[in-house]
Structure 1
Amino acid sequence: MVTPRLRHPVRRIGDRDIDFSRRLAVMAIVNRTPDSFYDRGATFALEAAVASGRAAFEAGADVVDVGGVKFAPGPPVPVAEEIDRVVPVVRALAPFGPVSVDTFQPEVARAAIDAGAAVINDTTGVHDPRIADVVADSDATLVVAHSLAAPRTQLPLPHYDDVVAEVRDFLEHRVAVAREHGVPAERIIVDPGHDLNKNTRHSLELTRRLGEFADIGLPMLVALSNKDFIGEALGRDRDQRLHGSLAAAVFCATQGARMVRVHNVRETVDALRMVEAILGWREPAYLLHNMRSEGNE
């Protein structure tokens, strides 16, 4: 078990205080895109996206992450269109819990925060430092993820001499950029970016050596859910990766990850709450087994 040395373990995210020294948080995914990797547009309609987000909160999600543009390469989505996709969902879900918006556009981040978003999840690692300016001028949390290519472009045959060392150096540098632009350390979370400009061997090594990020001092999010490295490791199609995703989530939790971004909320919540119970961070929901005297049985 790796215990991260967090400088600011207790975080205020939206209306919730989360103590990452004793809590494994779940970030649910809602894709308001017509071509998303996992659900293939199932939550593109506004009503479907809102219903999915509300169901995620009811299933135990700590944060719901709304995305209006997928990470994979493709034609640019106009900023105004991305705002139209995410802002109505943020407004609808914010009364039920903390909402995150997955974007690399400063204008989208501003509109989302104004609508009630508590987290900006930048999978391009503050590629545009103006996004840090926007977050700094708010109470929102910034997720800084590792990826190398320009937004929505391909990085063919990615190469790393030491993927863990290079990802760590990138994250420390981009966190420094965010702090220079006014985002305090107590409002930053890092993400090593599984599969983002990485092949399966890279993502497996990141997972295996995740404990080497433990002394970075910031809570770590891992976005593993149903990703290609799980499918390729197991030989499973996109809709058959739940068990591999749960195994990866639990392993990462034991190696210092404190938030997991997932599609399958209820199953992941149960897995991580069980880890918390084993570690003594959470009391059992009830006690019945072998808790009665013989005369009462």
Structure 2
Amino acid sequence: MIATLARPSADHPVLSALLARPGPAVMGVLNVTPDSFSDGGRFFDPGQALAQARRMIAEGADIIDIGAESTRPYGAPQPVSAEEELQRLRPVLAAVAALGAPVSIDSMKSAVVAWALEAGAGIANDVWGLQRDPDMAKVIAAHNAPVIVMHNRDRADPAIDIMQDIAAFFTRSLDLASRAGIPASHIVLDPGIGFGKTPEQSITALARLGELRTFGLPLLVGASRKRFISSITPSEPDQRLGGSIAAHVLAARSGARIIRTHDVAETVQALRVAEAIGDRS
């Protein structure tokens, strides 16, 4: 059973601005890592990273999501220390924030999130939904920042009801947020497509995304280049644009308010065309 909270709202100015438009906001992915599954370290160099951020903003990105540790939704990446993560972020984050678009920091470490929020990031994006680092919720509360709470599991279990698992996970995360003093209106929920899920479970989470609207909070979907696409049409990550767009357009139709993508221009175009056609129906 999915818990019901208040109607979706965003009294934080960053979220309010992002969610004010009728269609979903687009979040551009910027990986400053040498081993990302999706772009192979193309933007590990600070100059290349800044150029890519400028490009995505010009293409219509409403948010830039910076991550300095590969979380690889499948496979086993080498753990990265907080100091290594910070070394990768220091030459990039403030410069990207200076471009004017809101920046989110994609990290599971509270020390990294604290530094990033002080260096110019405006949103925390935690792939463990406040449940891995015991200090994460209080750091975000102390900075009065919005947070993206993502569902995750250490490993996929094909035997579970994935929607029940997502709902139970979010209920725990929201309790942690409340105890730390994070207002519900500062929270965005992400079902974590590809994380701790079989391809079939990722497809189910997308197909039943609308069920999560009963939480009364904005939803983010990041299906970009994920493995479930290859389970339908075998392909490498950089060959999954069509599948990514299909998933994102359907997610927007089901109520997603933020779409996280590696391919900003194509995603913006697809969402705007779908919105224009929908307005005529």
TM-score (ref. length: structure 1): 0.86
Asked if 2 retains the 8 angstrom alpha-carbon contact of 1:11 and 1:20, the reply is no
Match of 1:103 in 2: 107
Query: How many Å separate the matches in 1 of 2:8 and 2:123?
Result: 19
- Return the offset for 1:208: 1.0
Which whole-Å deviations, capped at 9, do the CAs of 1:76-127 have from their partners, x for residues lacking one?
2121110121233220011221011110101000100010101111001212
> SS at the partner of 2:30?
strand
Which whole-Å deviations, capped at 9, do the CAs of 1:229-259 have from their partners, x for residues lacking one?
0122112222211011000000011111111
Query: How many Å separate the matches in 2 of 1:258 and 1:11?
Result: 15
TM-score (ref. length: structure 2): 0.91
> SS at the partner of 2:249?
helix
C-alpha spacing 1:94/1:112, structure 2 compared with 1 (3 Å): same
> SS at the partner of 1:18?
helix
C-alpha spacing 1:118/1:129, structure 2 compared with 1 (3 Å): same
Which whole-Å deviations, capped at 9, do the CAs of 1:143-189 have from their partners, x for residues lacking one?
1101122xxxxx2x523431112111211221221121111111110
Match of 1:12 in 2: 13
Query: How many Å separate the matches in 2 of 1:12 and 1:279?
Result: 28
Query: How many Å separate the matches in 2 of 1:160 and 1:191?
Result: 22
> SS at the partner of 2:18?
strand
| Consecutive unaligned residues in structure 1, runs of 5 or more | 150-154, 282-297
Match of 2:239 in 1: 240
Over the aligned positions, Cα root-mean-square deviation in angstroms equals 2.0
Runs of at least 4 residues off by over 6 Å: none
The size of the alignment, in residue pairs, is: 271
Match of 2:83 in 1: 80
Match of 1:284 in 2: none
Query: Percent same amino acid among aligned pairs?
Result: 37
Query: How many Å separate the matches in 2 of 1:5 and 1:139?
Result: 19
Matched, 1:216 2:219: no
Query: How many Å separate the matches in 2 of 1:193 and 1:42?
Result: 24
Asked if 1 retains the 8 angstrom alpha-carbon contact of 2:124 and 2:146, the reply is yes
Bigger mean CA deviation after superposition, 17-26 or 132-141: 17-26
